[in-house]
Amino acid sequence: MKITVNYREIEFEMSTLEELLTLYRFNPERITVQINDTFVPPTMYAATSLKEGDVIDIGRA
């Protein structure tokens, strides 16, 4: 699926936000995440499924 992460379109073959963060080695304790302008709390990273066209903004906490 194609998603946009911090203004870059990527091809992502996994399914959850946690997998994306692990792939790019983000420390969940030091970041904030929004998907399609909606804040995602760290406790929901594993349960948050990504879908085609999602726009993810990852920033420093």
Q: Nearest 5°: phi and psi at 54?
A: -60, 145
| Span 31-40, average pLDDT | 98
Residue 54 has pLDDT above 90, yes or no: yes
Q: Which pLDDT belongs to residue 19?
A: 97
Name the β-bridge partners of 57. Answer: 34
Output the pTM of the full model: 0.91
Residue 31 has pLDDT above 90, yes or no: yes
Q: Which pLDDT belongs to residue 61?
A: 83
| Span 30-51, average pLDDT | 97
CA distance 43 to 3: 22
Q: Which amino acid is at 21?
A: L
